[in-house]
A and B are shown apart, each in its own frame.
Chain A
Amino acid sequence: MIVRLIERAGVFLVSLAISSVLVFAFMAVLPGDPARVALGVNASDEAVAELRRQFGLDRSLPVQYFDWLGGLLHGDLGTSYVSKAAIGPQVFDRLQVTLWLVVAGMIIALVVAAPAGTIMAARHRKVSGLALSALSQVGVAVPAFLAGILLIVVFAVKLGWLPANGWTPPAQDPGMFLKQLVLPALSLGLVQGAVLTRYVRSAVLDVLREDYLRTARAKGLRPFQALWRHGLRNAAVPVVTVLGLQLATLLIGAVVVERVFVIPGLGSLLLDGVSNRDLLLVQDVVMVLVLAVLLVNFVVDVLYAALDPRLRTS
């Protein structure tokens, strides 16, 4: 177990280091001079050169990279080229917003997928199972932003039950916060839930074929009882893995959904940064996202071992 933990931690750190180089390299080759975009095109070449010097863009790439990395290790994300404000607090503020969205989406996905996938597997030859299966196919095919637009049209514009967009921090007005959270979280969660359903279904199906389950049923348990007592914990192992991988998709989905619902999260910050050539900000936000995804995968790896005793000993 300890060896495995160290091994996974090593993979995590190496991935993080490689990602940082890649992120930096992509920013460096992106066309468009940040200083010129910041100053406007009528700016003189001298003014642009001066701003490049202020930004430190006139230094060699390796120097810029290590300077950036050094800052990150000290928790200093630098200063935005465009707003001249410290990036750290902005990213922190926006991250909280996106986390609400992702967590709520994840909960909805699980609430939908766990029972639906189990039923689909347990009744995979019955009409109810097949119907759910078809429904989940539709869900898989719908992108989150489309789901969002449809939800807005129905629940906000036509019925007027919920706001079409906007964001209120929970501390400021919890009621409004929940109202505004419902539709974006649903559009993320339903789509993710549909995808997850497929994995739950196949994991449960696999478990159903296991000998121990047949034994349990032979002892007189009804199918769902057997599944509940002996099967679900085992079915959870592959599902947790997928869940970790899906977090990345969920974060990407959140970027788009934030745009549709006008939510000031990390996604909107990222899009603004790209169009303003606020390269440092983009680098930082992408690194935060990479860190989040790698961290979750690391935790999943560890959980995986905790859930499945066989992995602990091997």
Chain B
Amino acid sequence: MKVSVRVGVVAAAVVFALTACSAGSGASSGGSSAGGDQKLSIGLVAEPASLDFTTTDGAAIPQALLGNVYETLVKQDADSGKIVPSLAKSWTVSPDRKTYTFDLVADAKFTNDRPFTANDAVFSINRVKTAWTTSLKSAMDVVATAKAVSPTQLQVTLAKPSNDWLFRMTTRIGAMFSETGVSALATTPVGTGPFKFEKWNRGDSIVLDRNDGYWGTKPFFQQITLKYFKDATALNNALLTSTINVIGTVQAPEALSQFTNNAKYQVIEGTTNGEVLLSFNNERPVFKDIRTRQAIRMAIDHKALLDTCWAGRGKLIGSMVPPTDPWYEDLTGVAPYDLTKAKSLLQASGAAGKTLRLRLPTLPYATSCGQVVKSMLEQAGLKVQIDQLEFPAAWLTTVFKNADYDMSIIAHVEPRDLGAVFNAKYYTRYDDPTLQADLAAADAGDEAAQIADMKKAARRLSEQAAGDWLFLLPNLMVADKDVKGLPQNAITENFDLSKLAR
């Protein structure tokens, strides 16, 4: 199940497709019977292990349920990356940036027929601290109090200013639950969303039905089935034989040609939050010298690497920021490919001729890109020993938990994860007070200050060569030609099904 390991690293990043509103907002214009009783089937990988993301980790549950069955107060727009209203019509922040006042929509109700009120919001926020068991709950620690001013007004006070908190409210920890609907989250989700949970055929599929009592624009499709596949070939065959209508996340870019050459299908390519990182264990003596780290970045011809190991699909980024974040800058020029310079830097740092251990998780992109990285680094004068570690369990224990590695390759798919990935406690063991100061300033400042400080942090990371960003995973989808409203970018935790139409 694939699995239940979040990490920002998660499973197959590729696996995690999905998104939010984008390309076809407005595609499903009309009332409850826009599509009559039409149905749609979407092929995905990584079936959830349970339906309760408050106690079970993993990308698959919010992918299916968040935004579709559960809604958040605020959500992230997939095109602009901006935070936009959802169950909260609007919100204001106090001058000291510690108190948020949300005005809630008045006519939302849960599928158990209870109305959604500010009390449910207070209950949901407090419940993260008390009942959630996954590590994500810590994002709610900064909340000092949450109180209902009126049924439609909520006030949340933070212990210190935090831009990140509002952003995290767009993710699963911001999901709004009914006070009377949390008794059986693992089997019977109750939310306010455009779809209601209908059925889970374990090992096979999850079925969602249109919520005819939805407060907002009702979805086009009466029923959407999320069908789970373990195998890329089986997924492709299912579309070719019309068992499904959409491949929600393409597992093998080299297999796309069978669809691009066929007029029956459309191929969508956008971006994700999945930075494929060649991580360094910055605690190891060999990586203490910045010249070694820079040399490795310069020894890798990123364009050639992307063409070889991921069929040229994806985007070169040069730091830990995807293009959908407001502070994105193209930093691919910081360490351009320069084999001669890489060789001399390695000589100067004394790393030339040393053997580095590249411990790869058994994930498709890591396996194929690892070989290319090895050959490129060996041309520059390093020796590279590749170890394959079974993902998730073996890789998590060895590399992630114990940091027993020199280099690894993994896609970090969490949104806005620069600070989470590059710190002394994480497996990158990257200890940099300057970076931490930039990040702290970004979290506390206003919007403009946040963007400026995050840019500084991203550039610092790239210049210090804390790791190497091989490329950004693409969001690749294939669908029947007439399916509309598919999200181009996959930057949120959920797959927004409400905009889909024919």
**Taking beta carbons and an 8 Å cutoff, which residues of A are in contact with B?**
30-33, 36-44, 47, 51, 80, 82-85, 90, 93-94, 149, 152, 156-157, 160, 163-167, 259-262, 264-265, 268-269, 271-272, 275-278
Interface 9-residue window, one of B85-93, B206-214, B392-400? B392-400
Q: List 20 A-B contacts (CB under 8 A).
A: A30-B393, A31-B397, A33-B393, A33-B397, A36-B397, A40-B7, A41-B9, A82-B49, A82-B50, A83-B50, A149-B233, A166-B243, A259-B234, A260-B233, A262-B230, A269-B203, A271-B230, A275-B1, A275-B392, A276-B3
Residue of B nearest to A34 (CB): B393
Contact B204 A264 (CB under 8 A): yes
CB contacts (< 8 Å) of A277 on chain B: these are 392-393
For residue B142, CB closer than 8 A to chain A, the reply is: no
Contact B203 A276 (CB under 8 A): no
Q: With both chains docked as a complex, state the minimum distance between the C-beta of B264 and any C-beta of chain A, in angstroms.
A: 13
Contact A41 B50 (CB under 8 A): no
CB contacts (< 8 Å) of B233 on chain A: these are 149, 260
Once the chains are docked, how many angstroms separate the CA of A43 from the CA of B229? 28
Contact B241 A157 (CB under 8 A): yes
Once the chains are docked, how many angstroms separate the CA of A278 from the CA of B50? 13
Given A36-B397, A84-B50, A164-B243, does the pair A264, B4 have CB atoms closer than 8 Å?
no
CB contacts (< 8 Å) of A51 on chain B: these are 133
Partner of A85, one of B4, B50, B240, B400: B50
Which of A47, A85, A276: most chain B CB closer than 10 A? A276
Q: With both chains docked as a complex, state the minimum distance between the C-beta of B405 and any C-beta of chain A, in angstroms.
A: 14
Contact B392 A37 (CB under 8 A): yes
Q: With both chains docked as a complex, state the minimum distance between the C-beta of B419 and any C-beta of chain A, in angstroms.
A: 13
Partner of B231, one of A37, A90, A262: A262
For residue B134, CB closer than 8 A to chain A, the reply is: yes
CB contacts (< 8 Å) of A264 on chain B: these are 201-204
Task: Enumerate B393-452 residues with CB–CB distance to A below 8 Å.
Answer: 393-394, 396-398, 400-401
Contact B230 A43 (CB under 8 A): no
Which of A37, A47, A94, A149: most chain B CB closer than 10 A? A37
Q: With both chains docked as a complex, state the minimum distance between the C-beta of B437 and any C-beta of chain A, in angstroms.
A: 23
Partner of A37, one of B4, B9, B203, B240: B4
For residue B267, CB closer than 8 A to chain A, the reply is: no
Q: With both chains docked as a complex, state the minimum distance between the C-beta of B253 and any C-beta of chain A, in angstroms.
A: 20
CB contacts (< 8 Å) of B397 on chain A: these are 31-33, 36
Residue of B nearest to A40 (CB): B57
Contact A262 B57 (CB under 8 A): no
Q: With both chains docked as a complex, state the minimum distance between the C-beta of A95 and any C-beta of chain B, in angstroms.
A: 12
Contact B1 A82 (CB under 8 A): yes
Contact B135 A40 (CB under 8 A): yes
For residue B186, CB closer than 8 A to chain A, the reply is: yes
Residue of B nearest to A169 (CB): B201
- Interface of chain A, helix or strand or loop or mixed? loop
Given A40-B4, A276-B3, A276-B4, does the pair A31, B231 have CB atoms closer than 8 Å?
no
Q: With both chains docked as a complex, state the minimum distance between the C-beta of B201 and any C-beta of chain A, in angstroms.
A: 7
**Taking beta carbons and an 8 Å cutoff, which residues of B are in contact with A?**
1-9, 47, 49-50, 55-58, 133-136, 138, 186, 201-204, 229-231, 233-234, 237-238, 240-241, 243, 390, 392-394, 396-398, 400-401
Q: With both chains docked as a complex, state the minimum distance between the C-beta of A274 and any C-beta of chain B, in angstroms.
A: 9
Contact B241 A164 (CB under 8 A): yes
Q: Give me the 3 closest cross-chain CB pairs, A-B, nearest first.
A: A32-B393, A264-B203, A40-B57
CB contacts (< 8 Å) of B392 on chain A: these are 32, 37, 275, 277
Once the chains are docked, how many angstroms separate the CA of A235 from the CA of B322? 69
Contact B6 A167 (CB under 8 A): no
Q: With both chains docked as a complex, state the minimum distance between the C-beta of B466 and any C-beta of chain A, in angstroms.
A: 19
Q: With both chains docked as a complex, state the minimum distance between the C-beta of B206 and any C-beta of chain A, in angstroms.
A: 13
Contact A40 B5 (CB under 8 A): yes
Q: With both chains docked as a complex, state the minimum distance between the C-beta of A57 and any C-beta of chain B, in angstroms.
A: 14
Contact B243 A272 (CB under 8 A): no
Given A40-B4, A41-B5, A42-B7, does the pair A262, B229 have CB atoms closer than 8 Å?
yes
Once the chains are docked, how many angstroms separate the CA of A33 from the CA of B237? 35
- Interface of chain B, helix or strand or loop or mixed? loop
Residue of A nearest to B11 (CB): A275
Contact A268 B6 (CB under 8 A): no
CB contacts (< 8 Å) of B56 on chain A: these are 38, 82-84
Contact B133 A47 (CB under 8 A): yes
Given A40-B135, A85-B50, A272-B1, does the pair A164, B202 have CB atoms closer than 8 Å?
no
Given A42-B135, A44-B135, A167-B204, does the pair A31, B394 have CB atoms closer than 8 Å?
yes
Given A82-B56, A164-B234, does the pair A39, B133 have CB atoms closer than 8 Å?
yes
Once the chains are docked, how many angstroms separate the CA of A51 from the CA of B9? 22
Once the chains are docked, how many angstroms separate the CA of A265 from the CA of B240? 23
Once the chains are docked, how many angstroms separate the CA of A277 from the CA of B393? 7
Contact B393 A31 (CB under 8 A): yes
CB contacts (< 8 Å) of A85 on chain B: these are 50, 186
Q: With both chains docked as a complex, state the minimum distance between the C-beta of A284 and any C-beta of chain B, in angstroms.
A: 15
CB contacts (< 8 Å) of B202 on chain A: these are 90, 93, 264
Given A82-B50, A160-B241, does the pair A37, B5 have CB atoms closer than 8 Å?
yes
Contact A94 B203 (CB under 8 A): yes
Contact B396 A32 (CB under 8 A): yes
CB contacts (< 8 Å) of B234 on chain A: these are 164-165, 259-262
Residue of B nearest to A264 (CB): B203
CB contacts (< 8 Å) of B4 on chain A: these are 37-38, 40, 82, 276
CB contacts (< 8 Å) of B237 on chain A: these are 152, 156-157, 164-165
Once the chains are docked, how many angstroms separate the CA of A122 from the CA of B290? 78
Residue of A nearest to B394 (CB): A31
Q: With both chains docked as a complex, state the minimum distance between the C-beta of B317 and any C-beta of chain A, in angstroms.
A: 23
Once the chains are docked, how many angstroms separate the CA of A164 from the CA of B234? 8
Q: With both chains docked as a complex, state the minimum distance between the C-beta of B68 and any C-beta of chain A, in angstroms.
A: 21
Contact B2 A36 (CB under 8 A): no
Q: With both chains docked as a complex, state the minimum distance between the C-beta of B279 and any C-beta of chain A, in angstroms.
A: 14
Q: With both chains docked as a complex, state the minimum distance between the C-beta of A281 and any C-beta of chain B, in angstroms.
A: 10
Q: With both chains docked as a complex, state the minimum distance between the C-beta of B198 and any C-beta of chain A, in angstroms.
A: 15
Q: With both chains docked as a complex, state the minimum distance between the C-beta of A31 and any C-beta of chain B, in angstroms.
A: 5
Once the chains are docked, how many angstroms separate the CA of A39 from the CA of B56? 7
CB contacts (< 8 Å) of A30 on chain B: these are 393
Which of A152, A262, A278: most chain B CB closer than 10 A? A262
Given A41-B9, A149-B233, 17 new contacts (CB under 8 A): A32-B393, A36-B397, A40-B4, A40-B7, A83-B50, A83-B186, A156-B241, A160-B241, A163-B243, A165-B229, A165-B238, A259-B231, A264-B202, A264-B203, A272-B1, A275-B393, A276-B49
Partner of A40, one of B1, B50, B134: B134
CB contacts (< 8 Å) of A94 on chain B: these are 203
Once the chains are docked, how many angstroms separate the CA of A44 from the CA of B425? 12
Which of B6, B237, B400: most chain A CB closer than 10 A? B237
CB contacts (< 8 Å) of B8 on chain A: these are 42
Partner of B3, one of A43, A44, A93, A275: A275
Contact B238 A41 (CB under 8 A): no
Contact B396 A36 (CB under 8 A): yes
Q: With both chains docked as a complex, state the minimum distance between the C-beta of B82 and any C-beta of chain A, in angstroms.
A: 27
Once the chains are docked, how many angstroms separate the CA of A80 from the CA of B203? 15
Partner of A268, one of B55, B186, B230: B230
